[in-house]
């Protein structure tokens, strides 16, 4: 099963509701590849497991597989 780890929180597909890409000023952007930040919103299942509704990761924190998965999440919403 695929998982993304951010700040010692391991997120599985069931945990993630949607994600958005943001620039350095925290504005939502459509340019996923060049975004500075990724805000990952969690489902009820994710909240129950991690006690938070969102996780924010910088571009440097995510590897290419994680970025590819988040892009799929963004495109599906």
pLDDT in tens, 35-62: 999 999 999 999 999 999 999 999 999 8
Per-residue pLDDT at 29 exceeds 60? yes
Contact by Cβ (8 Å): 42, 17: yes
- Tokens standing for 66? 């994680």
Instruction: Name the residue among 29, 27, 55 with its Cα closest to residue 40.
Output: 55
CA dihedral 38, 22, 55, 6 (to 10 degrees): 30
pTM, to two decimals: 0.85
pLDDT category, 74, cuts 50, 70, 90?
A: low
């Amino acid at each position: 099963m695929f998982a993304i780890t951010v700040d010692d929180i391991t997120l599985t597909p069931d945990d993630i509701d949607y994600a958005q890409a943001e620039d350095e000023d925290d504005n939502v952007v459509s340019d996923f590849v060049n975004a500075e930040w990724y805000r990952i919103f969690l489902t009820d299942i994710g909240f129950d497991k991690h006690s938070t509704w969102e996780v924010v990761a910088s571009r440097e924190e995510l590897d290419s597989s994680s970025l590819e998965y988040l892009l799929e999440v963004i495109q599906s919403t």
